[in-house]
Amino acid sequence: MHHAPAQPRLRRHCVGGHDPRGALRQRHRRQEPVGPGVVHRRDVLRAGLPVSGAAGGGRRSRGARALGPLVPAQAARTQGVANSFALCLGSRGRGGVAIFGGGPLFAANGRSITDMLGGDTPLRKHGDSPGYYVSASRGVFVDGAQVPLDTYAPLTIGFSTTTPYAQVRHDVYRPLIDAFDRAMEREGAITAGARVPSPAGSPFELCYNSSRLSLTRFGYFVPTVGFGLEGGPGWAVQGINSMALVIGRPTACFGFVEMKEGDKAGYGGGAAPAVVLGGLQMEENLVVFNEEKQTMAFTGQINGRGLFCSNFNFTVPA
C-alpha cells in the first residue's frame, strides 16, 4: 500500500478567524488610559484577525481573503474613535497587537512608534472586494533591480492575515521567482551549495540549506524583494519576512507561492490582485490603514531597531 508523503512542518501563522464583536470588547484594562480599542492577545493575533465578509471564517475559508474595513468602522461608530486600524503581527510566537482608533503609539521603553511611520500610500479599490489594497505602480524589484513583467494588468497588492505566505498571480510569480533565483546565484560566495530540493508536500519552489545562509538582524542574508508603492515608500521584504523555516530540518524556503486559479473565489470571482502579502511578510511591521484619509502608512521592520510588535505600551497617555 502506498502512503502519501507527510506534510512538512513549517513555522508559519495559523489560519483562523475571529469574532469582531469579541475584538471590540477587548478594551483597555482599568489601570490603562481610555483610548482606542485594542486587541492585545497572543491567541488572537496568531490565529488571524477578522477578514472582510468572513469573520470567523476559520481554517476552511477559501481564497486569500484580505483585511477589510468592517471592524474599524464598527469601532469608530460605537466607541467614538477615529476610523483607523493599526496592525503589528509578532514573529516566532511573540504577541502582536491590533489597534482600532489611531494613536499615538509607544514602545515599552517610551519610544514613539508613530514617529517611525513613513509616507501615506493611497488605498485603492479592487473590484468589489472590501479589503485593503494598494498599487505597486512603480514596479516589483529584487535587490534594487526591477523585475521585467509581461503584463499590463495593474500591480495591485493586497494584505491578508489568514494567508501564511505571499500569494503571487501567475504572470508575476514566474518573473519574480526567476529574478530571486538569479540574485541568489550572484551571491555565490555566500550561498554556494545552499540550494536544496523543496520538502515533499511544501508549497515552495525555492529552498535552501539554512546552515549555508548568513544571518543578520533582518533575518537571512538573501536578496530583498521590493514593491514600489504609489505615492509612498517602497515595501521591502527582507530575509526575516521572506524565508519560511521548515521545522526539524535546516531548510529555509522563499515564502512566495503561486496563486492557484481557485483562489480568485475570494475576490467575487473577479481578477485576483498581483500579490497578496501574507502573515510572514507582515511580521514586526506596524501598518496603519486610515479609512478617513484612505491611506496606508507603515514603519518597515521594527525589530532592526531593537523593537518588537509585543513591545507596545498602552499605559502611556496620549
- According to DSSP, the β-strands at 133-135 and 139-142 are unpaired
Of 84-88, 143-147, 268-272, 307-311, which range is least confident?
268-272
pLDDT digits (tens, 9 = 90+) for 95-109: 788 888 777 788 777
Nearest to 160 by CA among 259, 15, 10: 15
Inform me whether the pLDDT recorded for 29 exceeds 60: no
Contact indicator for 250, 212 with CB cutoff of 8 Å: no
DSSP letters for 264-314: GGGGTTSPPPSEEE-HHHHBTEEEEEETTTTEEEEEEESGGGT--GGGB-T
The pLDDT confidence band at residue 75, using thresholds 50, 70 and 90, is low
CATH classification for the domain delimited by 20-311, as one of 2.60.120.280, 3.10.310.30, 3.90.79.10, 2.40.70.10: 2.40.70.10
CA distance 89 to 93: 10
Nearest alpha carbon to residue 15 among 308, 281, 239, 278: 278
What is the pLDDT of the chain when averaged over all its residues? 75
Q: Which segment, 25-34, 67-76, 152-161, 265-274, is predicted with the most confidence on average?
A: 152-161
Separation of alpha carbons 17 and 307, rounded Å? 27
pLDDT for 248 beyond 70: yes
Nearest to 229 by CA among 70, 307, 118, 306: 118
Which residue ranges make up each domain of the chain? 20-311
Joined grid coordinates for residue 41 = 492577545
